Amino acid sequence: MQDFSFPAPPTAPDTAELRAEVRAFLAAELAGYPAAKRIRSWSGFDADFSRKLGQRGWIGMTWPKQYGGHERSALERYVVLEELLAAGAPVAAHWIADRQSGPLLLKVGTEEQKRTILPRIAAGEFFFCIGMSEPDSGSDLAAVRTRAVPVEGGWRVNGTKLWTTYAHHAHAMILYCRTGAANDRHGGTSQFLVDLTLPGITIRPIADLSGARHFNEVVFEDVILPHSALIGQEGDGWNQVMSELAYERSGPERFLSTFVLFVELVRALGSQMTPDAAGALGRLGVQLVVLRRLSRSVAGMLQDGRNPALQASVVKDLGALVEQEIPEIARQLMAMEPDLRSHDALSAVLGYSILNAPAFSLRGGTREILRGIIARGLGLR
């Protein structure tokens, strides 16, 4: 059985000033920004907005200054993240790079990779997509079939990646693929830093239920990567990707995806709040407070160099439940037709949330996979 504790979240000097600074910035930048756009938040792409965050030092906050970072605490970074998400800021452009690609390079990347890539991420000028899922191996990452074969001068890659968010806007991908024997499910995989402008890469958009086109299929056909593209150790891809998923599964985005709907719901009910409505919203509020505490605990473990994959899976699973519960409670409390194209803020936000809610327990690992990870970690299977 793995260590299943959630230690107290990290402490830091008073963050009230930083929180006030972020809120003032967002109030100015998002003035007039409609709720129908705020609900998209970490799916909302705005390169200029990300660049402004970089200029303020709010990307790569905990990284060493020698790589463009600012050497601030995990709690200070968390303050910025939750304020951005609570306000519904469009953070998708830099989100993946700041959340997991940069930290992975910082942990196992070469000195050249760190010095070349990290300062550009921190400046809000270099964006990443995730190359994990495939058509026949979504959450079962050990079943990947995309393969990198050694050739003169580097590696030849063939295969397909799926659900690669904003690959059509990204500069690079962290590619997870097979480099060893097909029957070595865990030991035969590696990760590569991929320039998405290389010949042989085709990016095809995929529309989701709401009509958005942030998903993509990325096809590799005899793509040649240099030796320097290898991240970490050849054959150690499984361990590396598991540590990367701890970053992906534990942040505040895993329980704040429908927070804008929660806010709009409270605003709409206003003085007409009934005891039943107050009770329902109160229960949601308590759940959000608990999730925030667990998520901040994981942030502290990551800062200490630990691999809290089990704890991150718990946060992701519980967070998805709350994210999906918020639109259901909104439907019960408000007699209205949800319509993401409505001029009514609550109707539009509710419409978007309902269409996207099924994905909350799929993206970043399906509920079934996560609960299998949790069960194994607890020694139950």
Q: Is residue 237 classed exposed, middle or buried when 0-12, 13-18 and 19+ CB atoms within 10 A define those classes?
A: buried
Task: Give the model confidence (pLDDT) of 193-204 as tens digits.
Answer: 999 999 999 999
Task: Give the model confidence (pLDDT) of 224-259 as tens digits.
Answer: 999 999 999 999 999 998 888 777 788 898 899 999
What proportion of the chain, given as a percentage, has pLDDT over 90? Answer: 69
Contact 339, 285 (CB under 8 A): no
Query: When comparing pLDDT for 1 and 226, which is higher?
Result: 226
What is the Cα–Cα distance from 110 to 163, expressed in whole angstroms?
28
The pTM of the full predicted model, rounded to 2 decimals, is 0.90
Written as one string, the DSSP assignment of 304-353 is TT---HHHHHHHHHHHHHHHHHHHHHHHHH--S---TT-SSHHHHHHHHH
Place of tokens 């089990």: 310
What value does the mean pLDDT take over residues 75-99? 95
Mean pLDDT of the chain: 92
Q: Which of 202, 186, 187, 191 is nearest to 131 (CA)?
A: 191
Distances (CA, A) of 60 to 87, 93, 175: 20, 14, 21
User: Is pLDDT above 70 for 1?
Assistant: no
Task: Give the model confidence (pLDDT) of 347-367 as tens digits.
Answer: 999 999 999 898 888 887 788
* Residue 295: its H or E element: helix 275-303
Q: How far apart are the first and last CA of the chain?
A: 10
Q: Positive or negative CA dihedral for 38, 42, 46, 51?
A: positive
What is the Cα–Cα distance from 343 to 261, expressed in whole angstroms?
15
What is the Cα–Cα distance from 23 to 41, expressed in whole angstroms?
15
Place of tokens 């990646």: 161
What is the Cα–Cα distance from 23 to 87, expressed in whole angstroms?
8
Instruction: Read off the DSSP letter of residue 137.
Output: B
Task: Give the model confidence (pLDDT) of 263-306 as tens digits.
Answer: 999 999 988 899 999 999 999 999 999 999 999 998 888 888 88
Q: In this structure, what token pair is assigned to residue 381?
A: 């299977």
Q: What is the structure's pLDDT at 137?
A: 76
